Structure 1
Amino acid sequence: MKKTIAWFFVILFSALYAFASYGDFEKTIDFRNKSNSVFGSDKYKFGDLFGISYYPMIKQDLSKTKRTFPVENPKTNKKINLCLAHDSYLGKDFLASKKQINSVDTIYDLEYPWFRGRANAPVNLDTSKTNVLVFEIVERNLFRLDKKAALNIVNIAAANEILALNPEIKLKPVKKKSKIKQFKEIIFNTRINKNLEFLLFDLRLFTPFKELKSYINHTFFNRLPPEVFISENQKQEYISDVKTSIEDKLTVSETEKTVALLNEIHDFYKSKGFDKVYFSIVPNPVAIIKPEALRYNGLIPMIQNSPNLRMPMIDIYTDFKKCDADLYFFSDTHWNFNGFTLWINKFNATLNADLSSD
């Protein structure tokens, strides 16, 4: 009997480990988030920050938020071959359709290497179209963008025309992962602990208890998980990484290093055949939302206003500062649909103006 019970638990926990190591575990997360049962999950329904803190006084159902102004999508006569190198701010929940971007014929959806750990599909540069590359990154991750990551995110599989016109281009062959490497990545999944925690403990059944614990800790002991903090007016939850925007003083030499990197990225991809290369820095919410914004260190303006900058910028910082609407979720790290719409409108307007002047 004891052996039977022991084997039962061995098989059970082995199955749980294997399931949590499953490469497409995100489908499980999506399914649990959409489930209305007590075995569903509230970890992401009310924002990723709520899923860390479970603080009930700042709680927003992301599925019920709407944009308050429309997407402006001017048309051009040119076909666009668009590569978007981005983080989660331009993830699938926002950029749901290429109809939101003017005259786009093809979209290559490229994620930063650290974001989900996946290799990006090859990009085919088409000389019959205008090849456009856009880098988007949230401000708090800007200093994480190193040269190696930036110059390898776009896996270029150039068309024969590009190679013929530019024989100096040296393309690295795309290496497929071996079966052994794939097996190792499953067994030694770096997200295994978080996946197991989500699988076993992030049940809607436990949400009221987690909220009560969080409320008591914050109200009486001024404590929250170290990954998050709450605004001075108690209306916005932030990820702790954005504290750099209000605590770190910047020097010209620091920002000029980033300017030099952006210039190198621009020149590199222009040499590979892209007609247009842009960069866009999404402001940390504390750079826009008061009262923290009063102490903003000014990273984005310092970079965008540098006299040495050659990289064309999609400047949404200025647009965000002028906008009176809510641009960020209250209990999530990301912009809401208003923030995204401002970005897509600014990108469309910038690209349209550049193509019209060519």
Structure 2
Amino acid sequence: MKKIISCFCLVFFSLVWVIGCHPTLSRAVLALGLTQDSYRYGDLYRLSNLAQFRQRPEICPKPNLANKPKNNIALYIIGDSFTEKQRINQNDFPVQTYLRTHWSDSIEVPLDTTKRNILILETVERHFREHFAVPVRTLKINTATPQTEQTIGEADSKSWDRILKDSEEALSDFLFSNDFFLRLKEWKAALNLNWFGRHSDQIALSPDGKNILFCWDTDSTRITSSFHPLPDRELIKLIQGVNAARDYYRSLGFDEVYVTIIPNKTTIVAREMGTYNHLVERVQSHPALRTPIIDVWSLFNQHSTQVYALSDTHWSCFGQRIWVDKVNSVLK
């Protein structure tokens, strides 16, 4: 009997480990409702477990394009997480062809010369310096049949340490993401914050305590931070990188190439936490910049309390609509 129980436990926990670590199986189990999405209350809540920032991100309505004919446009986006398919997709734009991929991927795409081919380089502020410090070669041209919509996943090449780390996080999310365990984590997080003034080192709190922020944006020692110094000589090289990307993709057949910078949440809601390097403004107003800008900077500043989600690094539906409307004004 003891041996049977031991074998059963071994099989059961092995099965749990495999399901928790395997992306396809864990998604299937999630779809069946046997587990819950660890990001359902926002990525910053997931890192902090602070109850005051527990909020489900909104499901954003799509613009009413039913009565508007689709333009003869093929829209391509190289983007960060702000344009992932759960946030942005073809239904946001009056276009015939749509393809979005991540900066870290390298894919071949077709160009239909009978269409107006538009490329948008979308980057969150924290990654602008990394993206344009090197030549942008994410998209390559081929003669394959155009696709109406495509989203490319992460690259497959990962180090063994990264695979182990990802597996550990996936298993933890699979086992401990239901509301019961989240309540226990919230009690622990509240105790640490209220008694010892401590919280997860992956997040920061604004001085007024009303906003939760990503540490990559607030830590001035990181190049991703809104407060990391940006010398003029580096700025000029980055501007050259943006212009070079435009020239390269224009030479491949794109009719128009735009760049759009989504400000860090910290930049908009908690700029007083450090000495802001003014990256967005300095890039967008630089006299050497030849690449047209899709600008949300001014409107985000005007509506600073409305454009970002409470529990997440990403924009609210209000902020997302600002960006989509700006893009659609370009597509017209």
C-alpha distance after superposition, 1:113-141 (max 9, x if no partner): 2xxxxx56642100000111111111112
The answer on 1:141 being equivalent to 2:127 is: yes
Residue type matched to 1:200 in 2? Answer: L
Query: Secondary structure of 1:156's match?
Result: strand
Residue type matched to 1:157 in 2? Answer: N
Query: Secondary structure of 1:339's match?
Result: helix
The structure-2 alpha-carbon separation of the partners of 1:291 and 1:220, relative to structure 1 and needing over 3 Å to count, comes to farther
Q: Percent identity?
A: 28
1:11-90 matched pairs, under 5 angstroms? 11-24=11-24, 27-28=27-28, 31=31, 35=33, 40-41=35-36, 43-63=38-58, 71=63, 78-90=71-83
Partner Cα separation in structure 2 for residue 147 and residue 209 of structure 1: 43
Query: Secondary structure of 2:139's match?
Result: coil
The one of 159, 172, 175 equivalent to 1:197 is 172
Indicate the residue corresponding to 1:167 in structure 2. Answer: none
Structure 2's unaligned 5+ residue stretches are 146-154
State TM-score, norm by structure 2: 0.83
The structure-2 alpha-carbon separation of the partners of 1:205 and 1:266, relative to structure 1 and needing over 3 Å to count, comes to same
- Runs of 4 or more, structure 1, over 6 Å off, are 72-77
Query: Secondary structure of 2:110's match?
Result: coil
The structure-2 alpha-carbon separation of the partners of 1:306 and 1:57, relative to structure 1 and needing over 3 Å to count, comes to same
Conserved in 1, the CA contact under 8 Å of 2:226 and 2:277?
A: yes
Higher alpha-carbon deviation: 120-129 or 269-278 = 120-129
Query: Secondary structure of 1:85's match?
Result: strand
The Cα shift of 1:21 comes to 3.5
The one of 310, 322, 325 equivalent to 1:345 is 325
Residue type matched to 2:53 in 1? Answer: I
Residue type matched to 2:174 in 1? Answer: L
State TM-score, norm by structure 1: 0.77
The Cα shift of 1:77 comes to 8.2
Partner Cα separation in structure 2 for residue 251 and residue 216 of structure 1: 41
Indicate the residue corresponding to 2:150 in structure 1. Answer: none
Higher alpha-carbon deviation: 306-315 or 320-329 = 320-329
1:217-236 matched pairs, under 5 angstroms? 217-236=192-211
Conserved in 1, the CA contact under 8 Å of 2:44 and 2:312?
A: yes
The Cα shift of 1:265 comes to 1.1
Query: Secondary structure of 1:79's match?
Result: strand
The one of 277, 287, 293 equivalent to 1:297 is 277
Partner Cα separation in structure 2 for residue 29 and residue 22 of structure 1: 11
> Which structure carries more relative contact order (alpha carbon 8 Å, separation 6+)?
1
The structure-2 alpha-carbon separation of the partners of 1:205 and 1:159, relative to structure 1 and needing over 3 Å to count, comes to closer
1:264-275 matched pairs, under 5 angstroms? 264-275=244-255
The structure-2 alpha-carbon separation of the partners of 1:26 and 1:318, relative to structure 1 and needing over 3 Å to count, comes to farther
Aligned length: 315
Query: Secondary structure of 1:81's match?
Result: strand
The Cα shift of 1:325 comes to 5.5
Query: Secondary structure of 1:250's match?
Result: coil
Partner Cα separation in structure 2 for residue 295 and residue 72 of structure 1: 41
Conserved in 2, the CA contact under 8 Å of 1:112 and 1:149?
A: no
Partner Cα separation in structure 2 for residue 332 and residue 43 of structure 1: 13
Indicate the residue corresponding to 2:136 in structure 1. Answer: 150
C-alpha distance after superposition, 1:173-210 (max 9, x if no partner): xxxx9xxx89x99x956621111111122222212211
